[in-house]
Amino acid sequence: MNRLAKMPLFVTASILFGLKTYIIYRFMFNIGLDNTMQEFILFVNPFIAAFVFFGLSVWFKKTSRQLKFIRYAMLIGTLVIYFNLVFYRSFTDFITVPQLFQTSNAADLGSSILSLIKVYDILFFVDVVIVWYLTKRAGAGVQYNRRGKMFALCLSLVLLTGNFFLAELERPQLFSRAFDREYLVKNIGIFYYHIYDAVVHSKVKSQRVLADGNELPEIKEYIQENIRSSKQSELFGLAEDRNIIFISAESLQSFVINNTVNGETITPFLNSLTEDKSTFYFENFYHQTQQGKTSDSEFVTENSLYPSSRGAVFFTHGGNEYHAMPEMLERKDYFSAVFHANNKSFWNRDQIYEQLHVDNFFDKEFYEVTEDNSIGWGLKDKDYFAQSIPYLKELPQPFYSKFITLTNHFPFELGEEDRSIEPYNSNSNTLNNYFPTVRYMDEAIEEFFELLKENNLYENSIIVIMGDHDGISANHNRAMSMYLDKDEITPYDHIQLQRVPFFIHIPGYEEGQVMDTVAGQIDIKPTLLHLAGIDTSDDMYFGNDLFHDDRKGYIGLRNGDFISEDYVSTSGICYDRETGEELTQQSEESEVITPCTEVEELVEKELQYSDAIIYGDLFRFEDFDSNN
């Protein structure tokens, strides 16, 4: 403590804060480091950022203000890191500006947030206590002359420039790839990432003001040449005039299908659907969500557009004009409804559903929720489906209805009385408890099928079941590798874990099968519309009908990764999709390329076009009705 007291206080604060930040970067965040240069950058950028910020204190003339600045800068900086850490424990991602405005969701998080806070987190505030103690010491403040101030400023600029130079050297065009937040944090640190994110947010907000619709012809041409098929699939119109019942299965991942835990089958009913001749099961189907999670899955499904890289489109652009699936189903006189036993304002659903042309939203107010029939995030799935049936029976037919389940939601709580299988035994309570809640949801869906039959809603419907996003994040890789009997979860394995179940069940149809085609949520809109016999030639979308062969052949993820029939690209590595073998990079005209390069460029272009549509609200310039 005496040695610390002898140093200028802003230098002491920089060392303590930089060391703590590095420890959190290195051991709390799951940041991949591929070489020594990345290790070095990750080590130095916390100290550089701390020196630059705390160095501003030398410009205060009064030592009392100087000390106050250091105290509160230390506290605020620690809170910024800590909030990101808590957020990261759930989403394996970093907070963005749009998410700071999603305050209406906070009241519903409850036990989810509490489960992310650890007892040892108090240690992250030790340096704050030390610095506050030192600022109270007599003579702690220092009057800096002009020369000392300029020296601190110049040194800050040199260090900052050096950090950014190394970052750009390690990752060229780093600042043009804002959707890769891990690379930004790894190379420039979390504080400069937040500054950069704020600048990007301001730029995005201005895009709508500057847009005039002239961007649309280029996007249409790309879709026509690279995505849209000139022919209809053989199943076009197969489900015409049938009801469409869509089940969004919360946090359901494909690794549980046809699998066991503790010797017990995890999803017996869903397993039976994979063998049912009335069902198409897509075993290589990937979720494409980002920070918006369930709301992202809804957005991608309904619009066949990519989600935003930052925040949730439901919040950031809830007032946009869209050309969503419910609106297009109106051409065949479909009535649309969403059933979700949660607050209507969660994810801003009460507003954006109007923009998507959803006719009716049955939210929490339509359900009887008691202490006995609810747990975790709300009404248990079995009660939810049972209470939904009377409303479903009254809908005008044909209808398009979406059911969003709740029970299989982090932190995966379930009472003993509702458990049919026991938790797994690993170092992760999240993974351990995941299996009983998945089994409960499987049973709830089976009971829902029976209720549909009992109420004469089964035969004239098609039933779609989709896992909305992953439930087990990369923070639980150690436990997941244990369950999957692997030495470790590689980036390739992580991508495979982004597969979620997708079923299309068509009662009376006997030619269903297991489909091994690479597919994603972006394909659902054209697939279901074509099954309903609706022509989509006037629409703009980035997916394909899954029942024809004339497809683009890859699925892009929001962070720029992709999965194609032959390759997987993730974390800057190109893999063979079948074997998981890392493919050697080749040099051509001094440019590093891999077999993945061509598709990577297409995915990046699609992400840019989709963002242009969303951020510019470009569909307000398109009259889809006149095109029909």
List pLDDT tens digits, range 352-406.
Answer: 999 999 999 999 999 999 989 988 888 999 999 999 999 999 999 999 999 999 9
Task: Say which amino acid occupies 149.
Answer: K
User: Quick one: pLDDT at residue 172?
Assistant: 64
Other beta carbons less than 10 A from residue 257's beta carbon: 22
CB 180 within 8 A of CB 560: yes
Q: What is the pLDDT of residues 561-583, one digit of tens each?
A: 999 999 999 988 999 999 999 98
Q: Cα–Cα distance between 93 and 559 in angstroms, integer?
A: 11
Q: What is the pLDDT of residues 456-475, one digit of tens each?
A: 999 999 999 999 999 999 88
Q: What is the pLDDT of residues 309-363, one digit of tens each?
A: 888 898 888 889 999 999 999 999 999 999 999 888 788 898 899 999 999 999 9
pLDDT classification of 7: cutoffs 50, 70, 90: low
Across the range 71-92, mean pLDDT stands at: 87
Phi and psi at 561, nearest 5°, equal: -70, 165
Q: Cα–Cα distance between 29 and 166 in angstroms, integer?
A: 21
User: Quick one: pLDDT at residue 434?
Assistant: 97
pLDDT cut 70: percent of the chain above it: 91
* Rg, the chain, Cα only: 26
pLDDT classification of 549: cutoffs 50, 70, 90: confident
More confident residue, 31 or 536: 536
Q: Is the dihedral of CA 262, 405, 269, 516 positive or negative?
A: negative
pLDDT classification of 168: cutoffs 50, 70, 90: confident
Other beta carbons less than 10 A from residue 586's beta carbon: 11
Residue with tokens 């499987």: 442
User: Quick one: pLDDT at residue 327?
Assistant: 96
337, 578, 582 from 485: Cα distances, Å: 42, 19, 20
User: Quick one: pLDDT at residue 350?
Assistant: 87
User: Quick one: pLDDT at residue 135?
Assistant: 79
User: Quick one: pLDDT at residue 180?
Assistant: 65
User: Quick one: pLDDT at residue 200?
Assistant: 74
More confident residue, 457 or 54: 457
Tell me the CA end-to-end span of the chain in Å, nearest whole number. 75
List residues forming the annotated binding site. Answer: 250, 294, 409, 468-469
Across the range 93-110, mean pLDDT stands at: 63
Nearest-CA neighbor of 432 among 448, 447, 419?
419
Residue 169, both tokens? 């050297």
Across the range 73-94, mean pLDDT stands at: 86
Across the range 158-172, mean pLDDT stands at: 78
User: Quick one: pLDDT at residue 142?
Assistant: 66
114, 143, 267, 372, 440 from 416: Cα distances, Å: 21, 65, 18, 13, 11
Residue 424, both tokens? 């797994």
CB 522 within 8 A of CB 543: yes
User: Quick one: pLDDT at residue 461?
Assistant: 98
Burial of 516 (0-12, 13-18, 19+ CB in 10 A): exposed
Q: What is the pLDDT of residues 206-239, one digit of tens each?
A: 788 888 889 999 999 999 999 988 788 999 999 9
CATH class of 235-556: alpha beta
SS3 state of residue 88: helix
Nearest-CA neighbor of 240 among 331, 360, 326, 323?
331
CB 531 within 8 A of CB 462: yes
Whether residue 139 is predicted with pLDDT greater than 60 in this model: the reply is: no
**Cis before residue 398, ω within 30 degrees of 0?**
yes
Residue 21, both tokens? 């930040």
Nearest-CA neighbor of 99 among 82, 111, 84, 114?
84
Q: Chain centroid to CA 152: how far?
A: 41
Which residue in 135, 267, 289, 294 is the catalytic one?
294
User: Quick one: pLDDT at residue 230?
Assistant: 76
Query: Over the chain, what is the mean pLDDT?
Result: 88
Q: What is the DSSP string of 189-212?
A: -HHHHHHHHHHHHHHHHHHHHH--
Q: Chain centroid to CA 70: how far?
A: 36
Q: What is the 3-state secondary structure (H, E, C) of 360-404?
A: EEECHHHCCCCCCCEECCEECHHHHHHHHHHHHHCCCCCEEEEEE
DSSP state of 582: B
Q: Where along the chain do its domains lie?
A: 2-207, 235-556
SS3 state of residue 161: helix
Q: Chain centroid to CA 63: how far?
A: 46
User: Quick one: pLDDT at residue 29?
Assistant: 87
pLDDT classification of 422: cutoffs 50, 70, 90: very high
Whether residue 116 is predicted with pLDDT greater than 90 in this model: the reply is: no
184, 470, 490, 577 from 495: Cα distances, Å: 21, 11, 9, 10
Task: Say which amino acid occupies 63.
Answer: T
User: Quick one: pLDDT at residue 514?
Assistant: 97
State the greatest distance between any 2 C-alpha atoms of the chain, in Å, as a whole number: 86
Of the segments 184-188, 310-314, 414-418, which one has the largest average pLDDT value? 414-418
Residue 439, both tokens? 């089994």
pLDDT cut 90: percent of the chain above it: 59
List residues forming the annotated binding site for substrate. Answer: 409
* Region at 503 (left for phi over 0; alpha for psi -120 to 50; beta for the rest): beta
Across the range 2-26, mean pLDDT stands at: 80
Q: Cα–Cα distance between 18 and 55 in angstroms, integer?
A: 13
Q: Cα–Cα–Cα angle for 580, 583, 588, nearest 5°? A: 160
Q: Cα–Cα distance between 395 and 142 in angstroms, integer?
A: 74
List residues forming the annotated binding site for Mn(2+). Answer: 250, 294, 468-469
Among 23-32, 113-122, 502-511, 585-594, whose mean pLDDT is lowest? Answer: 585-594
CB 490 within 8 A of CB 580: yes
User: Quick one: pLDDT at residue 481?
Assistant: 96
Nearest-CA neighbor of 561 among 603, 592, 509?
603
Phi and psi at 433, nearest 5°, equal: -80, -10
User: Is 12 assigned a catalytic role?
Assistant: no
pLDDT classification of 525: cutoffs 50, 70, 90: very high
Whether residue 585 is predicted with pLDDT greater than 70 in this model: the reply is: no
